[in-house]
Amino acid sequence: MKMIVAIIQQEDMRELLDHLISKGFKVTKLKSIGGFLEVSNIVLLIAIESEKVEDVLSIIHEHAHSRERYVETLPFNLIEGISGFSSPVKVTVGGAQVFIIDIERYVKY
């Protein structure tokens, strides 16, 4: 048995959850905040049989999309000690961070 821990952006949650649930997967979702951009993320916990891992990964890959965002840089140049604003920087965010963990024991009450 495996535990899939998938961190996705809030924007991808509804479509991804709908597809996982429609395929019969049980999902627990937890809200979280990303460290770099401090945007809302969702952590999905999915306990499944080992042979179903690729099915879940396929659904996540199909429905968790990366996107480009512009972020403001720091208003103070820490290296040079000069204050002032710079142009926004384009970064790629989203997609999914997925961890697959062996489950030693699973108990449901």
pLDDT in tens, the chain (109 residues): 999 999 998 888 899 999 999 999 999 999 887 666 566 789 999 999 999 999 999 999 999 877 776 666 655 555 555 555 567 777 666 678 999 999 999 888 9
Q: Are 93 and 9 in contact (CB under 8 A)?
A: yes
Is residue 96 left, alpha or beta, with left meaning phi > 0 and alpha meaning psi from -120 to 50?
A: beta
pTM, 2 dp: 0.75
* CATH 3.30.70.120 assigned to 2-66+94-102: yes
DSSP state of 74: P
